């Protein structure tokens, strides 16, 4: 009988300790931390105080950029597990600043070690690298360089998240992105949420712009057959008509900047592979969630490579590989292609998820899923496979074709481990079926989509259907004036075109012209009582009894059901029919569970019904889904009445323009006549004239007349600088205020609310009313704005500009505007003197002592050079331009064109004085691209004119005349301006 040995207590303790240490060594962890990093920063400054009505209003530009860095502390959110580390900058647009594969310290998402703001985005300020979040309208969004709201948490599954979000005030939509890092995966995800918080359709645009280093023999792994441009123009992919492999960075060494929106194959991923580094990256999402995939390349000539030093100091040139909801980033001309602009429906929520991860040691990239990436290729008679996991994998990998099994392999991998295998086989890899357990990497069928790429050439854009398409497309671009023009043309052609009537009604309602909107919807409903859009627009623009009827009819249509029921619930709350309101809002949520406005209103209704426990539960549920929901936090504070809850609410409003966040909420409560909550919010908001106006209006509603008058006076006493009211609801407040006090600021603010839609004649009426007030405006930006809007009336523009100068002669904007006006009207010497009033004597002479801020110096310096050219002081112009250091905006080449023209004109002057050798020198200089002017030399610059002129001057030197054949060859394709330059040498 075998003897049994029992372990001692010490032995058991030792085994337990070893097991604990083993578990600790193999445990997976993800951590989130909020830190700061001090980075060399080239800051931006100088917000433009002059209103710019249009698609981006109420946002304003920043005009100040500098070549002088400072060390600045930035807030960073770090997400880290055993495999990757992700950096996020909530103070710079919520950008994912970069991401590293930890074992190699390889930046699979470009990390810029300087913060170098340059004039690239809608509002100017922009930085390169990382993953940039864009919602709303074509271009780099208004939020890309501004602080956003953020929230971090560790989730129950051990993953960590950082939630980032902001409002896009130009459309009144709200976005949120959850960046999530699992504890045991080598990927992170971005889950995007986007919500249209308005009753109107608006523009639909979303792209994630991810930066990656360009060096390292980079291949763009973008499955597709064609690419389209911003205007919808099409080309072949990956090889162009000349046989160049566009999917390799280094083979784009021709032409200018590149924008390839790749399409033609149904694939769930795109990526890149640096063949010199044997590293890559993947971006994955189901095809139906992200149709768009784009390659952006700065030109490989100096035209593009100049931007390397403009945007970074040490990290090298980068490319952008971008994912979008639509096939292309559609410019206006894209409406004439199949790739039109799309609208975002009222009170609609949209969401999608993307995976981002590194690829390691696979020698290439052909397939990707959330489990990992594969490089599959046929080489020398062998089918070769490399597979890199990004999660723990324990399953069978099979590769087959038709009914033939080529390879079956049991796979045991940790994240970022790689397996390789090969089998004798030749054939088309696209016909292979690849499975890893239940996951399908390829199904062996063709992924080619055969999508039409061009509109029929015979299509009549002036037909009724063509005009309607154009009007709708302009609406979807938020180009409302253009839409209105086309709609009027269409309705003149066919007054009973009901879709046009309804679209025109929506436009009128959006513009705050409710009477016109009502007439148009009623006209439309005479043709179809169940027209859901006409009923919905009527329901939000008419009196209560009519509104309830129209909204009830609109609710028959699933497209408008949630929005209509939500509007009906608001009417019920306003009338204190809370139980009925609750039923309506619940029905609204049944139709669309993520109608955020309806969710918020549900919490309020429950509180009003004294169902506080249920209200708190709903608020908690909403905050779990949407941790940046300020409304839910405010409601929590309303229920609990705890100072700590109110403090938590205030502390989470971190995005740029916090005033607008408070106002948006205050207006939501005012819209259902909950005056107390609305007043509390405006009292919590930062000091601002529009806040004071709302406070005055709300206090009046609560019959606090004295306090209302004080708030109104505070609004009038405050400076109008940086005040850009934009909501129709604020127009109603301003109209109320005007019945209490007559003041130019009230009429000015009222004009700004609708300025994006107003005609020139309507603006003339507005300005007459503003200027008739006592006291008259004493604000220089107002006069700059007036001069711009009424620029066709030269007398008014001149008087406005001179008044601006009288009020603020030190402003570079005023000086530049006045000098531009004088120059445009032939008063060149006066313009030069005005320009010189701001530039120092040293700067006027092209020297750099005691300079102005960088941007003022080069903006006014370039203006002065232009004036010197017009005054035929060509040598002075050239010398001044040689002294400038221009920080350009994207695509800028005006300074170089000016430099080239000045050199050619001065060469003509010298040639006519028979100084031929000196003329030759300036013609040669005209062909150069001094990079201090902000432009680099492109491939194959057009030097035909200067080449001819050099030959002509050389012939003059030899006392010969020009050859007719040379002139004939030159004249083909020469612009009118270049012909004028040519004539100078006759």
Lowest mean pLDDT among 333-347, 485-499, 599-613, 878-892: 878-892
Structure-block tokens of residue 603:
């919490």
| pLDDT attached to residue 964 | 67
pLDDT 10s digits, 675-722: 999 999 999 999 999 999 999 999 999 999 999 999 999 999 999 999
Q: What is the DSSP string of 775-839?
A: SPP--HHHHHHHHHHTTTSHHHHHHHHHHHHHH-TT-HHHHHHHHHHHHHTT-HHHHHHHHHTTS
Helix (H) or strand (E) holding 486: helix 480-493
Burial class for 344, CB neighbours closer than 10 Å (0-12, 13-18, 19+): buried
Indicate the SS3 state at residue 237: coil
Express as a percent the part of the chain with pLDDT over 90: 89
Q: Is the pLDDT of residue 15 over 50?
A: no
Where helices occur in 671-755 by DSSP H, the ranges are: 675-684, 689-701, 705-717, 728-740, 744-754
Q: Is the pLDDT of residue 638 over 50?
A: yes
Domains, in order of start, for the chain: 26-359 (2.70.98.10), 361-443 (2.60.40), 467-683+691-697 (1.25.40.10), 839-983 (no CATH)
The torsion region of residue 416 among left (phi > 0), alpha (psi -120 to 50) and beta comes to left
Q: Is the pLDDT of residue 771 over 80?
A: yes
CA distances from 613 to 578, 609, 616, 617 (A): 17, 11, 5, 6
CA-nearest of 322, 477, 309 to 932 is 309
Among 35-44, 941-950, 962-971, which range has the highest average pLDDT?
35-44
Q: What is the DSSP string of 869-888?
A: HHTT-HHHHHHHHHH----P
Q: Is the pLDDT of residue 623 over 50?
A: yes
| pLDDT attached to residue 6 | 46
Q: Is the pLDDT of residue 101 over 80?
A: yes
Q: Is the pLDDT of residue 926 over 90?
A: yes
Structure-block tokens of residue 147:
């602080």
Helix (H) or strand (E) holding 167: strand 160-168
Cβ-based neighbours of 590, under 8 Å, separated by 6 or more? none
CA-nearest of 812, 771, 815, 813 to 790 is 771
Q: Is the pLDDT of residue 787 over 90?
A: yes
Burial class for 686, CB neighbours closer than 10 Å (0-12, 13-18, 19+): exposed
Exposure string over 905-923, b if 16+ CB within 10 A, otherwise e: bbbbbbbeeeebebbbebb
Torsion of CA 426, 427, 428, 429, to 10 degrees: -40
Q: Say how far apart CA 903 and CA 773 lie, in whole Å.
A: 52
Contact 268, 442 (CB under 8 A): no
Tell me the sheet residues that pair with 929. Answer: none
Q: Say how far apart CA 686 and CA 372 lie, in whole Å.
A: 49
Binning pLDDT at 50, 70 and 90, where does residue 22 land?
very low
pLDDT 10s digits, 508-537: 999 889 899 999 999 999 999 999 999 999
Helices (H) and strands (E) in the chain, counts: 33, 35
Q: Say how far apart CA 462 and CA 490 lie, in whole Å.
A: 9
Q: Which whole number is the average pLDDT over 64-90?
A: 98
Q: Which whole number is the average pLDDT over 375-392?
A: 97
Q: Say how far apart CA 974 and CA 986 lie, in whole Å.
A: 17
pLDDT 10s digits, 274-286: 999 999 999 999 9
Q: Is the pLDDT of residue 10 over 90?
A: no
Q: Which whole number is the average pLDDT over 577-590?
A: 98
Helix, strand, coil shares, percent, the chain, to 5: 40, 20, 35
pTM: 0.94
Binning pLDDT at 50, 70 and 90, where does residue 742 land?
very high
Helix (H) or strand (E) holding 588: helix 578-591
Binning pLDDT at 50, 70 and 90, where does residue 26 land?
very low
Q: Say how far apart CA 215 and CA 110 lie, in whole Å.
A: 11
Q: Say how far apart CA 213 and CA 274 lie, in whole Å.
A: 9
Tell me the sheet residues that pair with 249. Answer: none
Binning pLDDT at 50, 70 and 90, where does residue 783 land?
very high
Indicate the SS3 state at residue 5: coil
Q: What is the DSSP string of 406-425?
A: EEEEEEEE-TT-EEEEEEE-
Strands 84-89, 124-126: pairing kind? unpaired
CB atoms within 10 A of CB 11: 10
Lowest mean pLDDT among 60-74, 80-94, 212-226, 939-953: 939-953
pLDDT 10s digits, 894-911: 999 999 999 999 999 999
Burial class for 67, CB neighbours closer than 10 Å (0-12, 13-18, 19+): exposed
Binning pLDDT at 50, 70 and 90, where does residue 955 land?
confident
Q: Say how far apart CA 635 and CA 645 lie, in whole Å.
A: 9
Phi first, then psi, for residue 17 (nearest 5°) are -65, -45
Q: Say how far apart CA 77 and CA 192 lie, in whole Å.
A: 18
Q: Say how far apart CA 760 and CA 81 lie, in whole Å.
A: 59
């Amino acid at each position: 009988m075998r003897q049994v040995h029992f372990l001692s207590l010490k032995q058991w303790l030792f085994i337990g300790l070893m097991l604990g240490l083993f578990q600790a060594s193999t445990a997976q962890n993800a951590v989130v931390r909020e830190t700061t990093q001090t980075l060399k920063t080239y800051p931006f400054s100088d917000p433009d105080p002059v209103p710019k009505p249009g698609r981006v209003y109420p946002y304003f530009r920043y005009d100040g950029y500098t070549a002088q860095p400072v060390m600045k502390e930035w807030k960073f959110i770090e997400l880290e597990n055993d495999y990757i580390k992700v950096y996020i900058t909530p103070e710079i647009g919520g950008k994912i600043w970069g991401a590293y594969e930890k074992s190699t310290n390889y930046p699979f998402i470009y990390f810029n070690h300087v913060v170098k703001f340059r004039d690239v985005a809608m509002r100017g300020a922009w930085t390169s690298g990382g993953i940039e979040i864009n919602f709303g309208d074509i271009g780099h969004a208004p939020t890309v360089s501004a602080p956003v709201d953020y929230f971090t948490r560790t989730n129950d599954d051990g993953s960590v998240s950082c939630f980032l979000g902001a409002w896009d005030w130009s459309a009144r939509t709200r976005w949120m992105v959850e960046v999530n890092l699992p504890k045991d995966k080598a990927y992170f995800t971005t889950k995007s949420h986007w919500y249209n918080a308005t009753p109107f359709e608006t523009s639909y645009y979303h792209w994630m712009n991810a930066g990656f280093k360009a060096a390292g023999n980079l291949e763009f792994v973008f499955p597709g057959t064609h690419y389209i441009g911003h205007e919808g123009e099409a080309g072949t992919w990956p090889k162009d008509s000349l046989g160049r492999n566009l999917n390799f960075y280094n083979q784009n060494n021709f032409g200018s900047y590149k924008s390839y929106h790749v399409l033609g194959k149904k694939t769930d991923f795109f990526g890149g592979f640096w063949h010199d580094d044997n590293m890559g990256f993947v971006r994955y999402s189901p095809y139906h969630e992200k149709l768009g995939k784009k390659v952006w390349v700065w030109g490989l000539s100096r035209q593009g490579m100049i931007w390397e030093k403009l945007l970074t100091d040490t990290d090298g040139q980068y490319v952008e590989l971008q994912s979008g909801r639509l096939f292309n980033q559609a410019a206006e001309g894209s409406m004439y292609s199949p790739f039109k602009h799309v609208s975002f429906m009222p009170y609609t929520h949209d969401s999608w998820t993307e995976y981002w991860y590194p690829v390691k040691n696979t020698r290439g990239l052909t397939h990707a899923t959330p489990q990992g990436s594969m490089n599959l290729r046929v080489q020398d008679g062998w089918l070769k496979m490399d597979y890199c996991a990004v999660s723990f994998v324990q399953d069978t990998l099979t590769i087959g074709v038709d009914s033939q099994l080529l390879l079956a392999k049991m796979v045991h991998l940790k994240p970022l481990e790689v397996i390789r295998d090969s089998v004798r086989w030749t054939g088309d890899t696209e016909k292979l079926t690849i499975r890893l357990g239940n996951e399908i990497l390829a199904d062996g069928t063709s992924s080619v989509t055969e999508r039409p790429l061009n509109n029929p050439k015979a299509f009549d854009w002036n037909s009724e259907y063509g005009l309607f398409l154009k009007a709708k497309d302009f609406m979807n671009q938020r180009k409302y004036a253009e839409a209105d023009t086309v709609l009027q043309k269409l309705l003149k052609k066919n007054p009973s075109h009901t879709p046009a009537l309804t679209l025109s009604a929506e436009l009128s309602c959006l513009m705050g012209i409710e009477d016109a909107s009502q007439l148009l919807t009623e006209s439309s409903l005479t043709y179809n009582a169940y027209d859901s859009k006409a009923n919905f627009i009527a329901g939000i623009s008419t009196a209560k009894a009519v509104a309830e009827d129209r909204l009830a009819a609109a609710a028959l249509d699933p497209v408008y059901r949630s929005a209509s029921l939500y509007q009906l619930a608001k009417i019920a709350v306003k009338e204190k029919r809370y139980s009925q309101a609750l039923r309506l809002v619940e029905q609204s949520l049944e139709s669309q569970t993520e109608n955020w406005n309806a969710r918020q209103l549900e919490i309020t209704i429950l509180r009003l019904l004294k169902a506080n426990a249920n209200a708190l539960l709903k608020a908690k549920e909403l905050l779990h889904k949407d941790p940046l929901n300020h409304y839910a936090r405010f409601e929590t504070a309303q229920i609990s009445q705890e100072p700590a809850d109110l403090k938590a609410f205030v502390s989470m409003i971190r995005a740029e323009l916090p005033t607008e966040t408070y106002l948006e909420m205050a207006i939501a409560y005012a819209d259902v006549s909950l005056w107390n909550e609305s007043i509390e919010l405006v009292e919590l908001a930062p000091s601002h004239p529009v806040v004071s106006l709302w406070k005055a209006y709300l206090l009046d509603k609560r019959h606090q007349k004295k306090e209302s008058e004080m708030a109104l006076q505070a609004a009038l006493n405050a400076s109008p600088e940086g005040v850009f009211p934009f909501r129709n609801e604020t127009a109603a407040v301003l109209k109320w205020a005007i019945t209490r006090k007559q003041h130019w600021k009230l009429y000015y603010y009222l004009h700004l609310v609708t300025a994006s839609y107003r005609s020139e004649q309507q603006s003339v009426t507005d300005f007459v009313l503003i200027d008739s007030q006592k006291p008259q405006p004493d604000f220089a930006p107002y006069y700059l704005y007036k001069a711009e809007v009424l620029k066709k009336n030269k007398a008014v523009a001149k008087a406005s500009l001179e008044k601006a100068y009288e009020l603020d002669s030190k402003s570079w904007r005023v000086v530049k505007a006045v000098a531009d006006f004088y120059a445009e009207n032939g008063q060149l010497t006066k313009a030069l003197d005005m320009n010189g009033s701001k530039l120092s004597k040293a700067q006027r002479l092209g020297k750099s002592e005691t300079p102005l801020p960088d941007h003022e110096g080069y903006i006014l310096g370039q203006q002065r050079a232009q004036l010197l050219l017009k005054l035929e002081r060509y040598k002075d112009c050239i010398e001044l331009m040689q002294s400038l250091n221009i920080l350009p905006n994207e695509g800028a080449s005006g300074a170089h064109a000016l430099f080239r023209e000045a050199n050619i004109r001065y060469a003509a002057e010298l040639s006519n004085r028979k100084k031929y050798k000196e003329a030759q020198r300036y013609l040669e200089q005209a062909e150069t691209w001094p990079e201090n002017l902000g432009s680099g030399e492109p491939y194959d610059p057009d030097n035909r004119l200067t080449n001819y002129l050099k030959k002509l001057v050389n012939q003059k030197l030899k006392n010969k005349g020009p050859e007719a054949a040379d002139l004939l060859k030159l004249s083909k394709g020469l612009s009118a301006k270049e012909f004028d330059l040519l004539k100078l040498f006759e």
